[in-house]
């Protein structure tokens, strides 16, 4: 089966750095996404990793190790608006079309 694990909740301070980890056990792995989701809204795309290594995009970076089934999302210079759920999602091969399986999400609370 497919399994994606990430912490349920995390708390960090405004201006600080936080790392959200994600581990996965899936078959037909074809890439890993990170999404941000505010309550009552649809997810918004943050990053996509398909090769090992670090992808940096402004204050957000995402890392992938395929051999370890591990990824993390790194958020720097935290702002209050970063308070949201962060969803790790894996793209898996599935017949005609790939599909995306989501982890349970990590609720990040930012303290002033």
Partner 1 sequence: GAVVSQHPSWVICKSGTSVKIECRSLDFQATTMFWYRQFPKQSLMLMATSNEGSKATYEQGVEKDKFLINHASLTLSTLTVTSAHPEDSSFYICSAWAGGLGYEQYFGPGTRLTVT
Q: How far is the CB of 78 from partner 1 (least distance, A)?
A: 22
Q: How far is the CB of 47 from partner 1 (least distance, A)?
A: 11
Based on its alpha-carbon atoms, the radius of gyration of the chain, rounded to whole angstroms, reads 14
Instruction: Report the interface residues with partner 1, using CB under 8 A.
Output: 31, 40-45, 48, 50, 85, 87, 91, 94-97, 99-105, 107
* Residue with smaller CB distance to partner 1, 76 or 107: 107
CB 106 within 8 A of CB 10: yes
* Residue with smaller CB distance to partner 1, 16 or 50: 50
* CA 64 to each of CA 3, 14, 24, 42, 56: distance values in angstroms, whole numbers, following the listed order: 16, 26, 11, 24, 12
Q: How far is the CB of 14 from partner 1 (least distance, A)?
A: 23
* Residue with smaller CB distance to partner 1, 69 or 105: 105
* Residue with smaller CB distance to partner 1, 79 or 94: 94
Q: How far is the CB of 49 from partner 1 (least distance, A)?
A: 10
Q: Measuring CA to CA, which residue among 109, 32, 17 is closest to residue 64?
A: 32
The dihedral of CA 57, 88, 24, 22: what is its sign?
positive
* 75 token code pair: 């958020």
């Amino acid at each position: 089966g497919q399994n994606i694990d990430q912490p349920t909740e995390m708390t960090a301070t405004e201006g600080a750095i936080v790392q959200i980890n994600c581990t996965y056990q899936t078959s037909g792995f074809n890439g890993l996404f990170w999404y941000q989701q505010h309550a009552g809204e649809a997810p918004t795309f943050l990053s996509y990793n398909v090769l090992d290594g670090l992808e940096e995009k402004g204050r957000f970076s995402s890392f992938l190790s395929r051999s370890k089934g591990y990824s993390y999302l790194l958020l720097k210079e935290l702002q209050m608006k970063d308070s949201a759920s962060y969803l790790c999602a894996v793209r898996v091969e599935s017949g005609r079309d790939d599909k995306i399986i989501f982890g349970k999400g990590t609720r990040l609370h930012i303290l002033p």
